[in-house]
Amino acid sequence: MKLTLGFSPCPNDTFMFDALVHHKIDTEGLEFEVVLEDVETLNLMALEKTLDVTKLSFNAFLYACSDYILLQSGSALGKNCGPLVISKSGNSILDTSTVAIPGKYTTANSLFKLAFPNCNNTTEMVFSDIENAVLHDEVDAGVIIHENRFTYEQKGLHKVIDLGEYWESETKLPIPLGGIAISRTFSTEVQQKVQRVLKRSIEYAFQNPQSSEVYVCKYAQEMSYEVMQKHIHLYVNEYSVSLGEQGRKAIVYLFNRNNISAENIFVEL
């Protein structure tokens, strides 16, 4: 069976998926046609039901959960790993501030709205363009994700607030950033098979961390090796291997907060 599989070119995803893509593990007869896209593009593709299996923001999953069900391996959750709001001065965000966000359906945008419910003057940008937009005064501030949390200070920008810390102080739960979901059109047997294969790929990556370096570096663009490693260590953790009770609680909380039923949103282990 061949499935389309969407994930981002960011180091955390290429690190996790390398063994699966390059047949370094038993894929139980599954073949994957890989689609590499920015996370907001993947969010939009999920809303269009384009892919069989896909990475998506948990905020987007709120809108796509009738068509997709969440795998319990492959997620990005954790502590001290949330999006940051940055500006040139580090001053507080005003209701009239213009703020760049990395996409309407990103969890970053959801967390921003949670912290600044009255700031509605946002503009969508590809996440990698936000730092420069702030630097060139195209916007007053920006919500940054991925490797930009390791580079903004080098460009003379300042943190206004860590949205992850805000979430943790409000909920006492890990920050649910993104996950891997599979179409509900597949049988439970296929869903669980994909879940097993993905978990196996992540476990292989942890056991053989150098094995994925060629694949990770191929898509890391101009990212330094140090930043690439920091990116992986921050976003790939025990919740990536398996959500566990705390991971599931964080996602259920997000659903409940948005008044959406959290019934039958996880593939059973």
The whole-chain average pLDDT of the chain stands at 93
Which residue, 236, 227, 196, is CA-closest to 77? 236
Check residue 266 and give its pLDDT.
Answer: 98
Is 90 exceeded by the pLDDT of residue 79?
no
For the residues 97-105, what does the mean pLDDT come to?
92
Annotated catalytic residue 22: no
Range list for CATH 3.40.190.10 in the chain: 2-78+176-257, 84-171
Is 80 exceeded by the pLDDT of residue 222?
no
At residue 227 the predicted structure's pLDDT band, cuts being 50, 70 and 90, is confident
At residue 224 the predicted structure's pLDDT band, cuts being 50, 70 and 90, is confident
Is 90 exceeded by the pLDDT of residue 141?
yes
Architecture of domain 2-78+176-257: 3-Layer(aba) Sandwich (3.40)
> What is residue 94's DSSP assignment?
P
Check residue 80 and give its pLDDT.
Answer: 82
Cα(56)–Cα(179) distance, integer angstroms: 6
Considering the four listed CATH numbers 3.40.50.10890, 3.90.1150.10, 3.40.190.10, 3.40.140.10, the one that applies to the domain covering 84-171 is 3.40.190.10
Q: Are 14 and 146 in contact (CB under 8 A)?
A: no
Is 90 exceeded by the pLDDT of residue 190?
yes
Spot the catalytic one: 23, 146, 158, 231.
Answer: 146
At residue 90 the predicted structure's pLDDT band, cuts being 50, 70 and 90, is confident
- Whole-prediction pTM value? 0.88
Which residue, 77, 254, 76, 83, is CA-closest to 162? 83
pLDDT for 13-48, tens place per residue? 999 999 999 999 999 999 999 999 999 999 999 999
Q: Are 34 and 5 in contact (CB under 8 A)?
A: yes
Share of the chain above pLDDT 90, in %: 80
Check residue 122 and give its pLDDT.
Answer: 94
At residue 176 the predicted structure's pLDDT band, cuts being 50, 70 and 90, is very high
